[in-house]
Amino acid sequence: QVQLVEFGGGSVQAGGSLRLSCTASGYTRSRYCIGWFRQAPEKEREGVATLSINGGNVLNAYYSGSAAGRFTISRDNAGNTLYLSMKSLKPEDTAMYFCAAAPYCGSASWYQTDLYNYWGQGTQVTVSS
């Protein structure tokens, strides 16, 4: 059974940094996508960043426009932990952040929530001005 568990959220002031982690277990596919989504109150869930992986190698990293240049998605060498390093945080980054895995994704689809069939429970990030 696939399990995704996020941690590392918290409260920071604008301009600060946070690193989120997601531990993944039970995923047996060699080709898949794993990434981060977020959902602010009364807003739709949106893609933040995703890695496309095949045979243990990272093929691509995709970023939303708001994340590019400020956030970095990465994983550990064993491939068991996914990270999202966030800097220059803004109040509009305040949201619940979710880790999710999908059997496939592409440059034009990575942000589509319905591709992802496994989700973590989320970790809250709050950025104050």
**pLDDT tens-digit series, residues 60-108:** 999 999 999 999 999 998 888 999 999 999 999 999 999 999 999 999 9
pLDDT tens for each residue of 28-71: 888 999 999 999 999 999 999 999 999 889 999 999 999 999 99
- Specify the pLDDT at position 102: 96
- Specify the pLDDT at position 79: 82
Residue 1 has pLDDT above 90, yes or no: no
**Which 3 state secondary structure label does DSSP give 82?**
strand
Q: What residues does 15 pair with on adjacent strands?
A: none
How many whole angstroms separate alpha carbon 97 and alpha carbon 99? 7
How many whole angstroms separate alpha carbon 120 and alpha carbon 57? 22
- Specify the pLDDT at position 46: 98
Nearest C-alpha neighbor of 95 from the set 30, 36, 25:
36
